[in-house]
Amino acid sequence: MALISKQKYDPAQVQKLADLIRLYRDREQPFDYEIIVDGLKVVRRTSDPEMFFIFENFVTADTKNVEIIFYNGNSNVNEKRMFTFIDDEPEKGLSGVEVDTRIQESREQLRKEFEHERIQKENKELRGKVEELEKEIEDLEKANEELINSQSPLKGFLGEIGSSFVESFIRRNPNVIKGLPGGEALAGLIETDNKRKENEEQAPDSEVNFKPKSESYSLTEDEKNAITFVNQLKTQFQREEFDKVLLILQTLADDKSKIDLILNHVNIKQ
């Protein structure tokens, strides 16, 4: 038995029925429907929401009614919604122009709603991408900060400022820095300069200066602490011993896993 509901054609009410079909389809609970225009079945039994508004192509100024039938499961039990374009009293009926206007208004409203839904979806996706990028930047900044904090002030000082005894050590052992980023090129320059110095012992101006060129250079607190540490360390060793200490420090800086090995080897209690 079919349940019948009859009312005047209202684009808003028709849109609600279309939304109902789409809602249940999105929730994986689809149900079948049919649409009949003046006795002509223009949308045959289906659960596809995209087929719904095909019926508008068959509505004209002479159309009397549109029937929308909803089926219960796979059975033929159904519920019918009938929308009429004419009143019970002839003098109150809709003109052809009014019908066309209502149909056009219904189509325009539907287009606007679909466009609004599409824009909202795109904005949601963009917000998700922005959040991912912000999280990635935050992680990179955190990793960079951890890397900076993990670097030894002494290693940074030796690599950027240097001092006379470190310069002398590097000149005598250029191969030590070949393993560092950019060190191979620097080692080549030092070796070339060493040969030039041998040939120009009477030309003191030819000495390569590893110190900052700017007289107004201001040392950071870490650099000052590094200088103090190096000077204190230097006083404890002779030159050859200090060279070996620098090699040990460089080795530990390159491979920190050897720290515990050396401590255990020399039986130093922490």
Q: Is 36 helix (H, G, I), strand (E, B) or coil?
A: strand
Residue 186 lies in a domain: yes
Residue 212 is assigned to a structural domain of this protein? yes
**C-beta of residue 65 within 8 angstroms of C-beta of residue 38:** yes
Same domain, 109 and 183: no
| 147 domain-assigned | no
3-class SS of residue 82: strand
106 and 160 assigned to the same domain: no
102 and 176 fall within a common domain: no
> Count of CB atoms within 10 A of residue 227's CB?
16
Same domain assignment for residues 83 and 22: yes
Residues 173 and 253 in one domain: yes
Residue 207 has what pLDDT?
Answer: 47
Rounded CA separation 215/207 (Å): 18
Q: Provide the pLDDT confidence category of residue 123 given band limits of 50, 70 and 90.
A: confident
Name the more confident of 270 and 47: 47
How many structural domains are present in the chain? 2
Strand runs (DSSP E) across 53-128, as ranges?
65-71, 78-84
Which of 97, 116, 135 is at the close of a domain? 116
Q: Which residue has the higher pLDDT, 226 or 212?
A: 226
Whether the Cβ atoms of residue 67 and residue 55 lie closer than 8 Å to each other: no
φ, ψ dihedrals at 268, nearest 5°: -100, 125
Residue 64 is given by DSSP the state: -
Tell me which residue range forms the domain holding 196: 153-265
User: What token pair was written down for 88?
Assistant: 């019970």
Q: Is residue 127 situated within a structural domain?
A: no
Classify 81 as helix, strand or coil: strand
- Please indicate, yes or no, if residue 11 is contained in any of the structural domains: yes
Residue with tokens 């204190």: 232
Which residue, of 116, 141, 167, is where some domain finishes?
116
Residue 215 has pLDDT above 60, yes or no: no
pLDDT in tens, 132-161: 888 889 889 888 887 766 554 444 444 444
Task: Tell me if 138 is assigned to some domain.
Answer: no
Cβ atoms 78, 70 nearer than 8 A: yes
